[in-house]
Structure 1
Amino acid sequence: MDMISILRAIRQLEQPAVLATVIEVEGHAYRKAGAAMLLLSNGESIGTVSPGCIESDLFERISSVCETGRYVVVEYNMDPDEDPIWGEAVGCGGVIKVLLEPVSGAFRELLLEALHVLDTGRDVRIVRSLQGEELHYEIVAQEGEKSSELATDWEFDLLLSNRQRVILFGAGPDAVPIYQLLAQSSFHVIVADWRPNLLGSFPGAECYIGTPERLRNQLQLNHDDAVLVCSHQLYYDREMIQWALTAGPRYIGVMGSSKRIDLLFDGQVPPPAVKAPVGLSIGAEGPYEIAVSIAAELIGLRKQWRSLVREDHDPKGEQHERVRHLFGGGAEQPHGQTEVAARAFTGRSARQYGSSCSIG
């Protein structure tokens, strides 16, 4: 579950809710800093921040956070030598800090604006910072804009990227598990085929009908896309590969045997951007195992691509240092009213008072 799914759920909210975000991790943990979970007052949730070990405790805090309108920071010590309760329950051996924020008022508006930026195809940063006794929120679109230069005690900078787009060319039965796994793994999967009767197997999917020549006018491939070629029709697969190579997406995966791949590439070695056969080499057999190998490969590649983006954003590792000192000391903070401050650039900021505590 990714942050975009959480933001879209927030857009439909009709009940009190709390956003739980992992803001610091020391040692081993199931989720890393930036992992988030939406806790609804009716007991439902979206996303995860642990294997299920601390969620019940987080739910116990929803009513208090919503009633006071204050943020709270909770620390969970998973080391059994330090905390026999949480340490024995989880066994990870790490310490995590979770920020709980009521999703209401100016903060909710800010999150919805971040979603709007993402919907326009741009990445966005949500910046949380402590300025005196105030928790300050800000969104910054990734187009050369800078966050506030006001002095802060700490800053937590979370980069949100659009879902990786995957063009799945070929809607046969073996494409169904590929679509399902990729969609469940937070990819934006587009299914395309010239046979409209096959597209009925992908309910809820974004689908396009046409041969590669026709799809050129409907889909604009770009460098950030991944393309999976699996129509099993030699002529159209070759045409799709040629179009993809011209458009230059990051990844072109081709399904088929070695013999078929030789036919597609006229016996030549495929270009570097092409993975043929597609998927990790795990000895997969049958459509579901092959789908697992493809999904695993794309998940790993997505991680690499996002790491490159983050290195470009913060090449000296300064962001890591800012994150390490979040909410230091665990001191109780006074609370007050929420207020909104407009900024000179395209974006919004909000301030909210809250508190920090520890149960470790």
Structure 2
Amino acid sequence: MKEVKHIIEAYEKIDFSARKVVLATVVRVAGSSYRNPGARMLIMDNGQWVGSISGGCLEGDAMRKARQVMRSQQPMLVTYDTMDDDHNELRIGLGCNGVVDVLLEPVAAPGESHSLDHLRGLLTLSSLGVAALVYHSDDHHIIPGERLLLLNDEGLNADYCSAALTDIIGEDLPTILTSRKSATRSYPVDGGTLEVLFEVVEPSIEVLIFGAGADAQPVVNLAKSLGWRVTISDECIAHLAPVHFPMADQLVSCQRGFVNREITVSPYTAIVLMSHNYDYDLEVLKQIVKSEAPYIGILGPKKRADKLFAALEAANINLTEQDLQRIHSPIGLDIGAETADEIALSILSEVLAKFAGRSGGFLKYHKGPIHKRQGVDDQVFKQVYLHSEDDQQQIG
């Protein structure tokens, strides 16, 4: 969501009386690509842009194509074939070995732009959803750029599409939501086909840190650089000086016995216990171990974690296999971290791996493609693993 946030922030500062703007969205990827479907880039007629649709290979040509869209004020679907470095149309060696489809849409001023108003809505997500985007249409009742949104806890949002689109694809959104897999689908319509990207969207990760010591500072700063929300809690208010954590979203002074009452934990919360105080960590752990958080990391050696587990058992708090899958101690990935900054990198790398359903190992030893693909046409799609029936099989 960090990229979406930056796009919206830039969009709201544009003087539309002087500027023309285009939104570029990756809608389909077959084979390999630097970015997956859903990657976005806001392009302005003064040569500036925010976001990206590749590792820098496609942006220049996308800007040239965007100028055509600015003049015509009509959406355009552009296909980049990077399979053959010697014969690609951009005359540069991309090395991606994939085919990338990008939708370029003209963008209107705030209040008049469905595409950007739709994106703004994604920033407030509190649960899983599916965003459908039309990127090709032979039906004159439906135009490229129309959008339909299904949120798990709010239902269908059809503010950005025609009734004709809802009639055709409306029943497919719950199926995509249940599968937790992004997809593209083609529908027969009068005169040809309708092609739609179904993108699984989810809220940003929130990191909840218990313990406001000096070693929490790099964790906060790195998490914020990733676009995550960060909350820090400590029962010593002196430790929570804003000057020490200027990037944190929230500082919560909370006594250890009132964590359940004062602090909210969601299915998108990663909890990190790093107070260096055994009794404090134990009391907090008693209250959050049965929460919805899919990740609980505890700083310290394995012997300390074993002692905490034994204390939980003595308090009649029995840890299930699922609980043990969620608890990580020693915390972090094994990257040889020693300094506070390196430990922060190790911790947040593990958090990202957990939410992405990855093991965190070396990619050179990964068998098969890096990104999940559909076997029939080699398309790349995002999959959400957390809180599904496949959790234990996909995530360790």
Normalised by the shorter chain, which TM-score bucket?
0.7 to 0.9
Matched, 1:121 2:131: no
User: What is the CA–CA distance in structure 1 between the aligned matches of 2:378 and 2:32, rounded to whole Å?
Assistant: 16
Count the aligned residue pairs. 312
Q: Name the residue aligned to 1:140.
A: 149
Q: Deviations over 1:81-122 (max 9, x none)?
A: 552564743222222121111221677245324533652624
Give the superposition deviation at 1:165.
1.9
Q: Show the 5 A alignment for 1:77-226.
A: 77-81=81-85, 83=87, 86=90, 88-104=92-108, 108-116=113-121, 118-119=123-124, 121-129=126-134, 130-133=137-140, 134-143=143-152, 145=156, 148-150=166-168, 151=189, 153-199=194-240, 200=242, 201-207=244-250, 208-226=252-270
Distance 2:258 2:344 in 1: 27
- Are the aligned partners of 2:10 and 2:50 in contact in 1 as well (CA < 8 Å)? no
Shift in alpha-carbon separation, 1:41–1:321, aligned structure 2, 3 A: farther
**2:288 corresponds to 1:279:** no
Give the fraction of aligned pairs with identical amino acids, expressed as a percent: 27
Distance 1:59 1:198 in 2: 48
Aligned to 2:286: 242
- Change in Cα spacing, 1:99 to 1:194, as seen in structure 2 (3 Å) is same
Q: Distance in 2 between matches of 1:242 and 1:131?
A: 58
Tell me what 1:295 maps to.
Answer: 348
Deviations 1:230-249 (A, max 9, x none): 11122211111111113242
Q: Residue 368 of structure 2 corresponds to which residue in structure 1?
A: none
Q: Which amino acid aligns with 2:333?
A: L
Is the 2:125–2:202 contact (alpha carbons within 8 Å) kept by the matching residues of 1?
no
Q: Taking structure 1 as reference, are residues 3 and 58 closer, same or farther at Cα in structure 2, changes over 3 Å only?
A: same
Deviation at 1:7, TM superposition (A): 5.3
Change (3 A) 1:34 1:109: closer
Q: Is the 8 A contact 1:37 1:48 kept in 2?
A: yes
CA distance in 2, matches of 1:233, 1:4: 38
Deviation, structure 1 residue 198: 3.6
* Unaligned runs of at least 5 residues, structure 2: 158-164, 169-188, 314-318, 359-371, 380-396
TM-superposed CA distance for 1:28, in Å, is 1.4
SS of 1:247's equivalent in the other structure is coil
**Relative to 1, partners in 2 of residues 1:217 and 1:43: Cα closer, same or farther, differing over 3 Å?**
farther
Q: Deviations over 1:137-158 (max 9, x none)?
A: 1232324549712355211122
The residue correspondences of 1:40-59 to structure 2 (distance < 5 A) are 40-59=44-63
Deviation (angstroms), 1:255: 0.8
Match of 1:61, SS state, is helix
Cα shift readout 1:161-207 (whole Å, capped 9, x = no counterpart): 21022211122221122222222223222222233444322213222
* Equivalent residue number for residue 36 of structure 2: 32
Task: Give the letter aligned to residue 56 of structure 1.
Answer: G
**Whole-angstrom CA distance in 2 between matches of 1:58 and 1:282:** 38
CA contact 2:7–2:42 (8 Å) conserved in 1: no
Checking the alignment, whether the CA contact within 8 Å between 1:117 and 1:141 is kept in structure 2 is no
Greater shift after overlay, 256-265 or 93-102? 256-265
Check the 8 A contact 2:133/2:197 in 1, yes or no.
yes
Higher deviation after alignment, 77-86 or 128-137: 77-86
Does the CA-based 8 Å contact 2:75-2:145 persist in structure 1? no
Greater CA drift, 121-130 or 234-243: 121-130
Q: CA deviation at 1:250?
A: 1.0
Whole-angstrom distance in 2 between the partners of 1:21 and 1:174: 39
Distance in structure 2 (CA, Å) of the matches to 1:86 and 1:117: 33
Cα drift, residue 159 of structure 1: 2.6
AA aligned to 2:273 is V
Alpha carbons of structure 1 residues 25 and 114: separation in structure 2 relative to 1, 3 Å: closer
Deviations 1:47-71 (A, max 9, x none): 2221112222222334332232211
Cα contact 2:234–2:254 (8 A) shared by 1: yes
Deviation of residue 228 (structure 1)? 0.7
SS in structure 1 of the partner of residue 222 of structure 2: helix
1:59 and 1:197 map into 2 onto residues whose CA distance is 51
Structure 2 residue identity aligned to 1:12: E
Alpha-carbon distance in 2 for matches of 1:26, 1:288? 37
Sort the Cα spacing of 1:41 and 1:176 in 2 relative to 1 into closer, same or farther, 3 A. Answer: farther
Unmatched tracts of structure 1, length 5 or more: 306-316, 325-360
> How far, CA to CA, are the matches of 2:307 and 2:338 in structure 1?
22
